[in-house]
Amino acid sequence: MRTESDSMGEMQVPDEALYGASTQRAVLNFPISGRQMPEGFIKGLGLMKWACAMANEELEKLPSDKANILKEVAQEIADGKHSHQFPVDVFQTGSGTSTNMNVNEVIANRASQIAAKTIGSRDPLHPNDDVNMGQSSNDIIPSTLHLSVAIAIKEDLVSALSHLAIALDKKSQAFNNIIKIGRTHLMDATPLTLGQEFSGYAAQLNKSVKRAEKSIGLLGELAIGGTAVGTGINCHPDFPRKVCKILSKKTGIEFRQADNHFEAQGGRDDTVEVAGTLNTIATSLTKVANDIRFLSSGPRSGLGEIILPATQPGSSIMPGKVNPVMSEMLIQVCIYTQGLCNTISICGRDGHFELNVTIPLIAYALHESIRCLSNGARTFADQCVSGIAANSERCKELVDRSLMLVTALNPYIGYDKAAEVAKTALSENKTLREVILERELLDEATLDKALNPMEMIKPDGST
């Protein structure tokens, strides 16, 4: 152990640690969940410190020699090279001050290491005066929240959702000529093709991609420059504009200074809105995953219209049983995500006066949701959707047995007679054809045309 100090006094810090007294104090104060701040958030904070150093250098507030080593170390953090040096629990001070100081101390001590100085000497960088120049935890942490979540959505979630959309679209095209019975209210309805059904799933994912992309824009306003309470004390007036410009160029995401710094620090409505988008995406994925597992139910006592790839044994007692485990995985991911999104809404509600003090939990919930949704969607595409096969014989069997083909008879015999035909066919266990011909309601040629499923899936009768 070595001795370091902060404004509250001396602390014993592990020799191998790059962090200092403030971080060690937080580690001892918050032994809560064992969950550290998300890696994406820490990388984002490294990127934010890099941009702040560059802005302060351009403003001639930070000498170039200090700025260069600060940028070097901040980039290392942004690249994930020191991820084990950030042990502070998610459940900590609500402003995220402990995590901000954790990064400040790591940068300062790593700079000392590079400069062949004693760790803890604050030479050549001071964690507050240099690394935190023009900043407060109260503006840097919410800014990092927006920055890191926007990057995660762009790089992970949009990509994963697009991947699943493409997989579903391929199946839609492959299944386009397989006619099956439709279902509404879980009951038989008029026919459609399996491809048309899958096109709906692909469209849901394409809309999810657009929603995710739109949510990136919601995070474009950064609180940087507001410092302690939004007034910008101890901050150069051009600092926030420069930081936003630097980050925009670095990430390809458009960032701008908040229109109102008091809102940007006191409220977290933008992240609540993003959570609403993630909740919607989870809802959409659940619908798709549920439909696919129901369509595959069986293999002999269910619908059985599609066949899912077998990924693992389904039972410890029933030999040969195979379950729709990838659908079940994705549904659980979505349930988890929706719980996290509800947590974010509650966190956003609890912003009092000039600061919301639930930011670490919001950061954890957003990053965890994005991580799980991204991994879940990509895995579902690769391990399930890509291997789905159509059971065309089963689809035809169910179409032939369905009574809802009677809908096509409305223009020929009217709704009331058609309903009577359907009820008779059901009660007497006959086909629609048998009842129509027995009652001489239509001749065979007209009946063949009326009950042709291909005519029913294209309203204009085109082929």
Inside any domain, residue 254: yes
State residue 46's pLDDT score.
98
Contact 431, 425 (CB under 8 A): yes
pLDDT tens track for 281-295: 999 999 999 999 999
| Per-residue pLDDT tens over the stretch 375-416 | 999 999 999 999 999 999 999 999 988 888 889 999 999 999
Range of 86's domain? 2-133
CA distance 26 to 98: 6
Which of the pair, 262 or 463, is modelled with greater confidence?
262
Same domain, 324 and 275: yes
Q: Which of 344, 374, 393 is the last residue of a domain?
A: 393
Amino acid at the residue 252: G
Choosing from 185, 352, 427, 462, the catalytic residue is 185
Say if residue 460's pLDDT is above 60. no
Overall domain count for the chain: 3
Same domain, 42 and 67: yes
pLDDT at 402: 87
| 255 located within any domain | yes
Same domain, 340 and 233: yes
DSSP state of 36: B
Domain assignment present for 461? no
Beta bridge partners of 306: 390
Residues 269 and 170 in one domain: yes
Per-residue pLDDT for 55 more than 90?
yes
Domain assignment present for 87: yes
Give the DSSP letter of residue 156: I
- Residue 304 backbone dihedrals phi, psi, to 5 degrees: 60, 30
CATH number of the domain that residue 46 is part of? 1.10.275.10
Residue 441 has pLDDT above 60, yes or no: yes
Whether residue 459 has pLDDT greater than 60: no
Tell me: do 208 and 316 sit in the same domain: yes
Portion of the chain with pLDDT greater than 70, in percent: 99
367 catalytically annotated: no
Question: pLDDT at position 463, please?
Answer: 36
- SS3 (DSSP) at 235: coil
DSSP reduced 3-state for 153 = helix
| Structural tokens at position 361 | 């939990």
Question: Looking at the structure, do residues 121 and 17 belong to the same domain, yes or no?
Answer: yes
Q: Which two tokens stand for residue 22?
A: 């403030």
Per-residue pLDDT tens digits for 73-119:
999 999 999 999 999 999 999 999 999 999 999 999 999 999 999 99
Q: Which among 454, 449, 438 is positioned nearest to 412, based on CA atoms?
A: 449
Query: Do 336 and 356 belong to one domain?
Result: yes
Task: Identify whether 338 is part of a domain.
Answer: yes
Residue 434's CATH number: 1.10.40.30
* pTM assigned to the model: 0.94
**Measured on CA atoms in the order 82, 83, 84, 90, is the torsion positive or negative?**
positive
* Token pair in block for residue 85: 């040096």
pLDDT-derived band at 462 (thresholds 50, 70, 90) equals very low
Residue 455 has a pLDDT of 85
Which of 372, 393, 414 is the last residue in one of the domains?
Answer: 393
pLDDT digits (tens, 9 = 90+) for 103-116: 999 999 999 999 99
Does residue 175 belong to any structural domain of this protein? yes
For residues 16 and 143, state if they share a domain.
no
Single-letter amino acid, residue 56? N
Asked whether the predicted pLDDT for residue 313 surpasses 90, the reply is no
Res. 461: pLDDT tops 50: no
User: What distance in Å separates the CA atoms of residue 120 and residue 112, rounded to the nearest whole number?
Assistant: 8
Residues 82 and 224 both lie in one domain = no
Catalytic residue, chosen from 5, 83, 297, 315, is: 315
- Which of the pair, 203 or 7, is modelled with greater confidence? 203
Question: What's the rounded mean pLDDT across residues 443-456?
Answer: 89
Domain closes at, from 133, 153, 170: 133
Q: Are residues 114 and 72 in the same domain?
A: yes
N residues, the chain: 463
Element at 397 (helix H, strand E): helix 392-401
Examine residue 173 and state whether it is found in any structural domain, yes or no.
yes
Assigned domain for 340 exists: yes
The residue ranking higher by pLDDT, 55 or 320, is 55
267 and 206 within one domain:
yes
Indicate whether 129 and 154 sit together in one domain: no
Per-chain mean pLDDT for the chain: 95
Q: Is the pLDDT score of 458 beyond 80?
A: no
Q: Phi/psi at 352 (nearest 5 deg)?
A: -115, 130
CATH value at residue 296: 1.20.200.10
- Whether the Cβ atoms of residue 310 and residue 322 lie closer than 8 Å to each other: yes
Model confidence at 351: pLDDT above 70: yes
- The Cβ of residue 74 has, within 10 Å, a number of other Cβ atoms equal to 26
| pLDDT at residue 316 tops 90 | no
- Is the pLDDT at 446 greater than 80, yes or no? yes
How far apart, in whole angstroms, are the C-alpha atoms of residue 17 and residue 12? Answer: 11
Q: What pLDDT sits at residue 317?
A: 84
Mean pLDDT across 148-160: 98
pLDDT digits (tens, 9 = 90+) for 224-259: 999 999 999 999 999 999 999 999 999 999 999 999
Please give the pLDDT value at position 246: 98
The yes-or-no answer on residue 402 being catalytic is no
Mean pLDDT of 444-461: 81
Residues contacting residue 220 through CB under 8 Å, at least 6 positions apart: 146, 150, 253, 254, 255, 256
